[in-house]
């Protein structure tokens, strides 16, 4: 990359326009949305970027450092308070609520090199079999058919489809995982996390 054309370098020289877009930057999305105008101004005022990408001469680098040190203006004269972004320590789900729309069995058909997705009602009745060569095709079909009613179920299915597709491509064994969390239903629930009509481990 031409250092002089980089977004960070352009921001230090030119700042941003009224839309927070870095002036003169040629990147795809050189827009600073997560910092305030005051923070951007502080960066422009107190940070000087010295382009040295590709420089390998120790003497040149040392001289640049000496020059920069001599030009040190001291502590920044203003205080800038940024917007704090919450960092959440995620935990494993504790509870599992069955999807009223039913559950799925996922498996790769190695002989035909296809992914197979079976959908069952919570009474254990098979009502749809979908096949595709990729996981996106399958979950797109699931969405079109309204076979999901819970976001956690959708996340689980997406992960399992991705694992099954990876196994199909690599030839490794695939066993469908049980959905995370403990079932929270009054009905009898098997160890795999689905209704008692399920006889295949790992189904949700």
3-class DSSP string for 172-198: CCCCCCCCCCEECCCCCECCCCCECCC
In terms of Cα–Cα distance, which of 29, 27, 38, 1 is closest to 15?
Answer: 38
Nearest to 104 by CA among 123, 120, 84, 80: 120
Mean pLDDT of the chain, nearest integer: 82
Please indicate whether residue 12 or residue 108 has the higher confidence score (pLDDT): 108
pLDDT for the residue 182: 77
Helix axes 37-46, 7-14, angle to 10 degrees: 90
Give residue 81's pLDDT band: very low, low, confident or very high (50, 70, 90): low
> For position 198, what pLDDT does the model report?
37
Mean pLDDT of 16-34: 82
Burial class (CB in 10 A: 0-12, 13-18, 19+), 28: exposed
Whole-prediction pTM value?
0.57
Helix (H) or strand (E) holding 164: helix 151-170
Q: Per-residue pLDDT averaged across 9-33, rounded?
A: 81
What integer pLDDT is reported at residue 129 of this predicted model?
Answer: 97
Q: Is the pLDDT of residue 51 over 90?
A: no
pLDDT of residue 169: 93
Among residues 154, 133, 149, 64, which one has the least CA distance to residue 100?
149
For residue 45, pLDDT beyond 50: yes
Residue 75: its pLDDT value, please?
81
CA 27: distance to chain centroid?
Answer: 22
Percent pLDDT > 90 in the chain is: 43
Q: What is the pLDDT of residues 92-149, one digit of tens each?
A: 888 888 899 999 999 999 999 999 999 999 999 999 999 999 999 999 999 999 999 9
The pLDDT tens digits of the residues spanning 139-189 come to: 999 999 999 999 999 999 999 999 999 999 999 999 999 888 877 654 433
């Amino acid at each position: 990359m031409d250092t002089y054309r980089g977004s960070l370098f352009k921001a230090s020289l030119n700042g941003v326009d009224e839309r927070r877009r870095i002036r003169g930057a040629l990147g795809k999305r050189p827009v600073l949305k997560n910092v305030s105008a005051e923070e951007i101004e502080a960066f422009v005022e107190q940070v000087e970027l010295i382009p040295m990408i590709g420089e390998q001469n120790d003497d040149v680098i040392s001289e640049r450092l000496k020059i920069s040190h001599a030009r040190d203006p001291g502590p920044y004269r203003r205080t800038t308070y940024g917007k704090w972004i919450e960092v959440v320590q995620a935990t494993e789900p504790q509870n599992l609520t069955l999807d009223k729309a039913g559950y799925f069995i996922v498996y790769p058909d190695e002989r035909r090199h296809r992914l197979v997705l079976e959908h069952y009602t919570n009474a254990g009745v098979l009502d749809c079999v979908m096949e595709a060569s990729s996981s996106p095709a399958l979950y797109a079909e699931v969405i079109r058919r309204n076979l999901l009613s819970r976001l956690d179920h959708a996340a689980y299915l997406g992960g399992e489809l991705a694992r099954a597709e990876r196994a199909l491509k690599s030839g490794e064994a695939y066993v469908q995982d049980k959905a995370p969390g403990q079932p929270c239903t009054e009905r009898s629930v098997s160890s795999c996390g689905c209704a008692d009509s399920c006889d295949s481990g790992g189904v949700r």
